[in-house]
């Protein structure tokens, strides 16, 4: 009998109906399949019916158990079990050396970090992940709702984020204290030509956009103008808002994903121009 370890966020999914629904939610693709945290292998077993997979598990006791349970699949080369902390694998660059789909019942304590890493992992093309409902709502939130923050904007800039269904605590052993949701993020988003395109051509651009979002949402209840003015000149921000017909009282969560991209682009462009002007006139920042 294997005892669930709290420190690794182990809540094993025991509900066969939910397992079936997860499999039905997977994208139909010929990409590689990756699972994070196979646990006791219930989801792994179902995934293996679809295609071969690579699974990352941090817990050595579970790895010993899984190696026995799936010895035939491992010998056939259908299952590759990697004993590691998945965050360390992300640090190395990617969970795979080719495009992949991620399917997982994620450990709650690092679910947000894992999703953010997977969003930035160029090889990850889609994810179907079970996480705490409140966290799923943050990634899939729509503008003008209180959940709409940097997480939603980032996820929806890179892909299409959608909550598929909720899963109650009774589907797990041990039972978590919270309700879970299945979140799907499809990174095959077709950006509107000329609007999104080219924004994240480099990792540097993505990092700058993340900095812009941190600044925009530093005090979510304050106006966007007030937040962003800590990084950009207020008169410049006001000019851009005037051009975009945005009221000066607008708060960061009231601005759509597309508008955040446009504002980010305009601020950077104008800021670069200003810096150029200042350098030619010899003015210090």
- Residues at the contact surface with ligand SAM, assessed by CB under 6 A: 8-13, 36-40, 42-43, 56-59, 62, 85-87, 105, 107, 110
- HEC profile of the chain: CCCCCHHHCCCEECCHHHHHHHHHHCCCCCCEEEEECCCCCHHHHHHHHHCCEEEEECCHHHHHHHHHHCHHHHHCCCEEEEECCHHHHHHCCCCCCCCEEEEEECCHHHHHHHHHHHHHCCCEEEEEEEEEHHHHHHHHCCCCCCCCCHHHHHHHHHCEEEEEEEECHHHEECCCCCCEEEEEEECCCCCCCCCCCCCCCCHHHHHHHHHHHHHHCCCCCCCHHHHHCCCCCHHHHHHHHHHCCCCCCCCHHHCCHHHHHHHHHHHHHHHHHHHHHHHHCCCCC
Minimal distance, residue 163 CB to ligand SAM, in Å: 18
Q: Least Å distance between CB 134 and ligand SAM? A: 16
Nearer residue to ligand SAM within complex by CB, 9 or 252: 9
Residue of this chain nearest to ligand SAM (CB atom): 37
Cα 104 from chain centroid (whole Å): 13
Give 57 or 121: the residue with its C-beta nearer to ligand SAM. 57
Closest to ligand SAM by CB, 60 vs 193, is 60
User: Given the complex with ligand SAM, which of 95 and 151 has the nearer CB atom?
Assistant: 95
Least separation in angstroms between CB 41 and ligand SAM: 7
In angstroms, what is the minimal distance from the CB of 166 to ligand SAM?
16
CB nearer to ligand SAM: give 103 or 153: 103
Q: How far is the CB of 78 from ligand SAM (least distance, A)?
A: 17
Residue 123: CB minimum distance to ligand SAM, A = 17
Considering beta carbons, is residue 38 or 159 the nearer one to ligand SAM? 38
């Amino acid at each position: 009998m294997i005892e669930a370890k709290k420190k690794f966020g182990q809540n094993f999914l025991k509900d066969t109906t939910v397992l079936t629904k997860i499999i039905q939610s997977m994208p139909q693709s010929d990409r590689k399949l990756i699972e994070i945290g196979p646990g006791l292998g219930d989801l792994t077993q179902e995934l293996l019916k679809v295609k071969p997979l690579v699974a990352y598990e941090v817990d050595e006791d579970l790895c010993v158990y899984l190696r026995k349970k799936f010895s035939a699949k491992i010998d056939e080369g259908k299952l590759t079990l990697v004993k590691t902390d998945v965050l360390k694998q992300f640090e190395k660059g990617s969970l795979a050396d080719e495009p992949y789909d991620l399917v997982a019942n994620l450990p709650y304590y690092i679910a947000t970090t894992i999703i953010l890493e997977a969003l930035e992992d160029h090889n990850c093309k889609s994810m179907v992940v079970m996480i705490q409902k409140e966290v799923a709502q943050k990634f899939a939130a729509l503008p003008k709702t209180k959940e709409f923050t940097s997480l939603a904007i980032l996820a929806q800039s890179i892909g299409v984020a959608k909550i598929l269904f909720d899963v109650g605590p009774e589907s797990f052993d041990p039972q978590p204290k919270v309700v879970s949701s299945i979140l799907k993020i499809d990174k095959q988003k077709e950006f509107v030509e000329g609007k999104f395109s080219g924004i994240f051509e480099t990792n540097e651009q993505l990092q700058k956009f993340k900095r812009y979002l941190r600044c925009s949402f530093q005090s979510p209840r304050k106006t966007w103008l007030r937040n962003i003015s800590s990084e950009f000149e207020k008169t410049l921000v006001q000019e851009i808002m005037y051009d975009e017909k945005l009221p000066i009282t607008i708060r960061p969560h009231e601005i759509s994903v597309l508008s955040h991209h446009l504002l980010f682009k305009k601020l950077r462009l104008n800021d670069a121009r200003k810096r150029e002007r200042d350098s030619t006139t010899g003015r210090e920042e």
